[in-house]
Amino acid sequence: MSWLETELREQPEALARLLDRQADAARDAAKLFRGRDIRYVLIASRGSSSNVARYAQYLLGRAHRVPVMFATPSLYTIYGQPPRLDGGLVIGISQSGASPDVVAVLAEAREQGRPTLALTNDPDSPLARAAEAVLPIEAGEEHAVAATKTYTNSLGAVALLFAEAGKDAVAREELLRMPEALASQIELSLGDRVSLDEYRDAVGLTVVARGVNYGTGFEIALKIRELSGLMTEAYSPADLMHGPIAAIQPGWPVVVVAPSGPARPSVEEIVPPLRARGARLIAVSDVKAVLRRAQTRLPLAPGVPEWLSPLTAVVPGQVTALRLTLLRELDLDRPRGLKKVTLTR
């Protein structure tokens, strides 16, 4: 078995470890959000961590009713003109904690006297040392180049912050049930031997998602692109309709991520125009009506609250990326041209 599949299967255990070990750290980190002068949250991240940051934009924005935005690292590392960060809480998300540009953003924030928080799998990393507070994601060592358990545990860390920041007992209980839900989803997705043979010769795919699963769409696209080499892009339904849909020709595969929840109807609205263009639809959903309208059905385990659905909705995408890569006879653990830790400035 590849490292990728092994670590994909380890995700429930890793998430349970995070929730068991780091509730106190999340509780302490959540205090940073209660600073009297906090007017916005700024997140520095790269790669899969940026897809976690997209999730954080929704959860932390809802919890604190402040803007949650992305940093521009080049202002810090290339141009030497970092912005004034008055009123900001600055978060760095990096699975390795080694990305120099993410570290630079937090170091500048500390220099300006702003509160800083690191979410990382390495509590001794440069990012952790640069931050005022650290929330270790507890994923354990990850050997595969493509992130699986570090991604889901980073999502779990954001969800833990959300629950602790709001002192929300219901949210805590829902989150504590997620390792079991994640295990059920992995069993469902790996046990579902849906054929992907018709996509063997595809040159690319499009992924559509919205709301708390907007980042899920980007993560699925990234996994498929980095493992299989297929040109894959992610869009919200609105962004797709504002021009890019013109590139979707008959036979083009489109993954529609539509779990139950407030965002689902707006994602479903994109299905008729896609079908009219002859797209081949791949549905990730727990809604039978959505699955019925797709050529390829990737069901989600039922009963997951929408705010936590990114933890399970990414799994069919991970499994699809794995199977497309095997169909194309590529190495799952050594994607061409990629390294486990990417040091960008």
Residue type, 207: V
Convert the pLDDT of each residue in 24-46 to its tens digit: 999 999 999 988 899 999 999 99
Interatomic CA distance for residues 266 and 263, integer angstroms: 6
**pLDDT number for residue 62:** 86
- Maximum average pLDDT range among 35-39, 51-55, 191-195, 340-344: 51-55
Closest C-alpha to 307, from 180, 163, 179, 93: 163
Interatomic CA distance for residues 61 and 68, integer angstroms: 6
**pLDDT number for residue 233:** 97
**pLDDT number for residue 193:** 84
219 and 71 both lie in a single domain: no
* Range with the poorest average pLDDT among 37-41, 62-66, 75-79, 300-304: 62-66
246 and 109 both lie in a single domain: no
CB-based contacts of 7, cutoff 8 Å, min separation 6: 142, 143, 144, 148, 149
Q: Residues 88-102: what's their mean pLDDT?
A: 96
Convert the pLDDT of each residue in 151-167 to its tens digit: 999 999 999 999 998 88
| Residue span of the structural domain in which 230 resides | 186-327
Convert the pLDDT of each residue in 111-140 to its tens digit: 999 999 999 999 999 999 999 999 999 999
214 and 137 both lie in a single domain: no
| 96 three-class SS | coil
Grade residue 341 by pLDDT with cuts at 50, 70 and 90.
Answer: low
The mean of the pLDDT values for the chain is 94
| Within-domain flag for 319 | yes
| Within-domain flag for 336 | no
150 and 248 both lie in a single domain: no
| Within-domain flag for 17 | yes
Please, are residues 150 and 142 in contact by the beta-carbon 8 Å criterion? yes
**pLDDT number for residue 65:** 87
pLDDT at 63 over 90: no
CB-based contacts of 214, cutoff 8 Å, min separation 6: 54, 55, 58, 236
Q: Residues 186-205: what's their mean pLDDT?
A: 93
The token pair at 84 is 């004034």
| Within-domain flag for 209 | yes
**pLDDT number for residue 340:** 54
| Within-domain flag for 75 | yes
| Within-domain flag for 309 | yes
191 and 172 both lie in a single domain: no
218 and 169 both lie in a single domain: no
Per the confidence metrics, is the pTM higher than 0.85? yes
> Which domain-ending residue is among 148, 176, 204?
176
| Within-domain flag for 345 | no
CA quadruple 73, 118, 31, 55: dihedral positive or negative? positive
| Within-domain flag for 248 | yes
pLDDT at 338 over 90: no
**pLDDT number for residue 334:** 82
Grade residue 77 by pLDDT with cuts at 50, 70 and 90.
Answer: very high
Q: Which residues pair with 256 in a beta bridge?
A: 208, 283
205 and 160 both lie in a single domain: no
195 and 295 both lie in a single domain: yes
Residue type, 117: L
pLDDT at 64 over 90: no
11 and 74 both lie in a single domain: yes
Q: Residues 63-77: what's their mean pLDDT?
A: 93
Instruction: For residue 18, give Cα distances in angstroms to 22, 24, 215.
Output: 6, 11, 21
Convert the pLDDT of each residue in 269-326 to its tens digit: 999 999 999 999 999 999 999 999 999 999 999 999 999 999 999 999 999 999 999 9
Please, are residues 3 and 333 in contact by the beta-carbon 8 Å criterion? yes
14 and 104 both lie in a single domain: yes
Please, are residues 133 and 117 in contact by the beta-carbon 8 Å criterion? yes
266 and 129 both lie in a single domain: no
Convert the pLDDT of each residue in 198-252 to its tens digit: 998 999 999 999 999 999 999 999 999 999 999 999 999 999 999 999 999 999 9
Please, are residues 153 and 52 in contact by the beta-carbon 8 Å criterion? no
272 and 307 both lie in a single domain: yes
* CATH number, position 273: 3.40.50.10490
Overall number of domains in the chain: 2
